[in-house]
Chains A and B, each alone.
Chain A
Amino acid sequence: MAAPTSIQDPRRPEAWVWVYFATVGIVVALMMVFGLVMRLGQAGLIELPLTWFYQLMTMHGVGMVGISGVGGAAILYHFLSQHVELSRKIFIANFVLFLIGAVLLLGPSLLGSYAGAWTFLYPLPQNSGGQWAPSAAAIHLTGLALVGVGFLLFHLDNARAILARYGSLGNALGWPQLFGNSSEEPPPASVVAGTMVLIVNILGLVSGASIIVLSIVGILNPSFEIDALLAKNMIYMFGHVFINATIYMSVTAVYELLPLYTGRPWKVNKVFLAAWNISTIFVVIVYPHHLLMDFAQPTWLHVLGQVISYGSGFPVLVVTAFGALTLIHRSGIRWTAASGFLVLSMFGWSAGVIPAVVDGTIAANQVMHNTQWVPGHFHFYLVLGLVSMFFGFALHYSRGTGDSAADRVALWTYAIAGLGFTCAFLAAGAQSVPRRWAIHLEEWHGIALVGSVFGALVVVATLLLVVRIAVRARSVA
């Protein structure tokens, strides 16, 4: 089958999906600007008041993680609702809780000097060394809890709808086809992805909610002590799962849209199902690789952390990236800014896993943990992988009369600058530059400057794309 000359896609995102995406565009652009300001500060080009660096860092981290969830949820909702009856009310409730939560999350940093980092490691929020009031931390964590509750509702509603249609989560994960030789059609890719994500994210959110509540109790009553190592385990379990789930939700855009551009179907087969089932387990238990430098933990847990981090991302990643490349290869794909971003997202995800796995190796972690290698690897995933999925989705549904030259220029600028930006982080990490330092030694300024230049280009391309998508979406409407 030859690639189509025009892309027929009768599914139009409903208005609330666009509301989600308008928010994604604004917040991502704003948080990128915060990130750029931090990088310029590290390059010694601007002198940021000390407290502001860490306040911006806190807002950038929590803002980006939260908005990644919002974008992922919008994409998943759009495709999942083609197959099951989702509740629009819950979808709206999640958005409202996110907005209220966002005000509570950012307000304490904007007005109350709060800078506990998005990882809120106990007991830093309540023990700032005089920098912020414990009440600021309590408000911030309440905001985090509200956002978490919103996502919990969203995933519970997905569970309800999937169970109503497929009877069990096992059926929705394709167990009858995988283990039982069922001749029935396997569930669509979006249903498999949605089921995997609801399982892992509900577990992660429960862990997160528990430690958030405990932390708030600790702030209100400092004599209530939490085990710092237990807190760290619960936080990383929640944080790791949540940010990974954003990609697993958003990748449905690749499964559903790339076939339209290549004229080739994305088949759900046994290999696909096996990969998603294995990753469901691994994603939940892989987080100990964040604690490799906590020597107090038993050694077997560290070894497990390394070994599982080797296996965790691979099944779905290999099946997805390889599947995408197979779909494209000699397909006569219709290249547009949308299909370009979907392909870029596959590159970002599959190349970004390499420095991640390296860092998950204990021997390397010992000298690279908490250097800028770490932001290097996750910005690779997020800038080139996740945000590219967002752009691909939004450009596809706002295609209207098609691309302008500006869209192509923005795509290539974003891709090249994004690669340069993330590689500057990795190179800095290789030079042992610590992460999360407001002020850098002079010898580290050069690489921060390189990162800043590429970062500025990423910001420019992003602003251009957000404006273009808004214009294109209006012309569609």
Chain B
Amino acid sequence: MTIQATATLISFAGIALMVGIFLFVLARSGDEAAYDTVQPRAYSLRKQLFFILLAGFFIVPALTLRHLPYSPDGVESTVVDVTAHQWRWEISQTDFTAGESVLFRVGSADVNHGFAIYDDTNRVLAQVQAMPGYVNEIAFKFDDPGTYRIMCLEYCGLVHHGMLAALSVTDARETL
């Protein structure tokens, strides 16, 4: 399952659960009971909820912080320089072979931009900010052959939506 699908599933399930909880309380709101009978039960429920959230506070980071995108993993990489301009991408190499690990060194010649790699179904695979005065390094491995698109994910002015580029990845066997 893609990260997007997992994130969406968790979010929509959570939102649906909240809808359910609110509708339940709404439906029962007219069935009056004394506050001193409602409150103690609610407080004990709150205590349980607190411990669940506290556990989540430790467990979820432990699960999600294991693979961070920040430091290239030491694999031999092709180094590619990327410079963002209003409103185009300058990319030192755009043809790759499947399985190739690439280290993109991303900077900007003017304002903030966002360097996002999309697959051929227009799904984001990875991204990094492009900003003046800094070089942000992002490692990316092209697993499958095909056309990948670069789109801008930081608002940069009038033609922000037009900052597109294409990367072509060919099957390693074909190039032999």
Q: Once the chains are docked, how many angstroms separate the CA of A294 from the CA of B114?
A: 10
Q: How far is the CB of A384 from chain B (nearest CB, A)?
A: 10
Q: How many residues from B make CB contacts under 8 Å with A?
A: 80
Nearest CB in chain B: distance from A458 CB, A: 17
Residues of A within 8 Å of B4, CB to CB, are 367-368, 430-432
A342 on the B face (CB < 8 A): no
- Return the contact of A227 from the options B22, B57, B87, B133 (Cβ within 8 A): B133
Report A-chain residues with C-beta under 8 Å of the C-beta of B122: 431-432, 441, 443
Q: List 15 A-B contacts (CB under 8 A).
A: A54-B155, A123-B111, A124-B155, A128-B157, A232-B112, A294-B131, A295-B138, A296-B134, A302-B70, A329-B38, A330-B31, A363-B3, A368-B3, A370-B154, A438-B161
B68 at the interface (CB under 8 A from A): yes
A311: interface (CB < 8 Å): yes
B8-16, B74-82, B93-101, B165-173: which lies at the A interface? Answer: B8-16
- Among the stretches A184-192, A216-224, A351-359, A390-398, the one at the interface with B is A351-359
A310-B57, A430-B4, A430-B8 as given contacts; A325 in contact with B21, CB under 8 Å? yes
A330 touching B29, Cβ below 8 Å: yes
Inter-subunit contact A331/B123 (CB<8 Å): no
Closest partner residue, chain A, to B15 (CB atom)? A351
Query: In the complex the two chains form, what is the Cα distance from A419 to B16 in whole Å?
Result: 11
In the assembled complex, the CB of B143 is this many whole angstroms from the nearest CB of chain A, namely 15
- Interface residues, chain A, with chain B CB atoms under 8 Å away: 1-3, 50-51, 54, 115, 117, 119, 121, 123-124, 127-129, 131, 227-229, 232, 264, 271, 293-296, 299, 302-303, 306-307, 310-311, 314, 318, 322, 325-326, 328-333, 335, 343, 346-347, 350-351, 354-355, 358-359, 361-364, 366-371, 373, 419, 423, 426-427, 430-432, 434-441, 443
Number of cross-chain contacts by CB at 8 Å: 229
Q: When the two chains form their complex, are residues B42 and A121 in contact, meaning their CB atoms are under 8 A apart?
A: no
Using CB atoms and an 8 Å cutoff, list the residues of chain B in contact with chain A. Answer: 2-8, 10-12, 14-15, 18-19, 21-22, 25-26, 28-33, 35, 38-39, 42-43, 46, 49-50, 53, 56-57, 60-61, 64-65, 67-71, 86-87, 110-112, 114, 116, 118, 122-129, 131-138, 151-162
User: Complex Cα distance A303/B87, Å?
Assistant: 32
Other-chain contact of B29, A333, A419, A431, A437 (Cβ < 8 Å): A333
Instruction: Please name all residues of chain B whose beta carbon is closer than 8 Å to the beta carbon of A310 when the two chains form the complex.
Output: 56-57, 60-61
Instruction: Determine if A371 and B158 form an interchain contact, defined as CB atoms under 8 angstroms apart.
Output: no
B53 to chain A, nearest CB (A): 6
Q: How far is the CA of A455 from the CA of B38 in the complex (A)?
A: 38
Shortest 7 CB-CB contacts between residues of A and residues of B: A354-B14, A129-B86, A437-B161, A351-B18, A326-B42, A332-B32, A370-B153
